[in-house]
Amino acid sequence: VGAPQICVAIESIMTDIATCCSLSSEEVRKTNLYMSGDETVYSQPLEDGNLLRCWTEVVERAGLEELKSNVVRFNKENRWKKRGVAVIPTKYPIAFNPATFLNQAGALVLVYLDGSVLLTHGGTEMGQGLH
Judge whether 87 and 62 are in contact, CB under 8 Å. yes
Nearest to 89 by CA among 24, 32, 6, 19: 32
What is the pLDDT, as a whole number, of residue 123? Answer: 78
DSSP code at position 63: T
pLDDT of residue 126: 73
Contact 61, 43 (CB under 8 A): no
pLDDT at 14: 93
pTM of the model: 0.66
pLDDT at 110: 93
Name residues of the chain where pLDDT drops below 50.
none
Give Cα separations from 89 to 22, 35, 43, 56 (angstroms). 20, 13, 20, 12
Beta strands in 1-131 (DSSP E): 107-111, 117-121
